[in-house]
Structure 1
């Protein structure tokens, strides 16, 4: 299953509040993410506001589209937008900058042994 890693920039002046908002994400939002194909989804936040997200999904564009069709996502994105800098499209889920994976330990080990990762 493909892995996706992306970055966003949280306003450094709002890091504590951003962290607090993610301590208890709305149950409806959690269910929508899971139902839309977001698996093993994590967010990592650096002290300067760099946010790195990671997830596993069969089809990232489809998973994004499924979330964008959900009312709960529209409400969540509206509440979270003020926390981010440089939102190109007004919502964090539309401004994610996916990164190219350049190394995967499991894949290389599997290639060495002829196994499937």
Structure 2
């Protein structure tokens, strides 16, 4: 298993942030299925202000490339991602159209 951390910003609008959180309390079943089918075993999203942090634990068969290819051919995932873009904004330095940015691990403590 491997763990990844990713970041993304929401538009800094309390109404939009509340709507975004409401969608994530009731995620479409097709989205949950696509996450699980890609090899993601655990996923959590945290928020502070308008900054989001996602933690994903994945199996050995997971790859971002395979996930992206599967998402690009799934109409419900495309619909979800287009809807979510209403609430999201790219981080500074992101490539055009790039949403979640992979974070670099700079510290780890094993107890």
Report the TM range for the smaller structure's normalisation. Answer: 0.7 to 0.9
Runs of 4+ with deviation above 3 angstroms: none
Residue 55 (structure 1) aligned with residue 56 (structure 2):
yes
2-side partners of 1:75 and 1:65: how far apart? 15
CA RMSD of aligned residues (A): 1.8
Higher relative contact order (CA 8 A, sep 6+): 2
Give the superposition deviation at 1:16: 0.8
In the aligned structure 2, how far is the partner of 1:69 from the partner of 1:41? 22
**1:61-116 CA distances to partner (integer Å, 9 max, x unpaired)?**
33333333322210100111110123731xxxx4211011122333xx5xxxxxxx
Give, in angstroms, the shift of residue 24 of structure 1.
Answer: 0.5
TM-score, L = length of structure 1: 0.76
Structure 1: stretches of 5+ with no match in the other structure: 110-117
* Greater strand share, structure number: 2
Q: Taking structure 1 as reference, are residues 104 and 67 closer, same or farther at Cα in structure 2, changes over 3 Å only?
A: farther
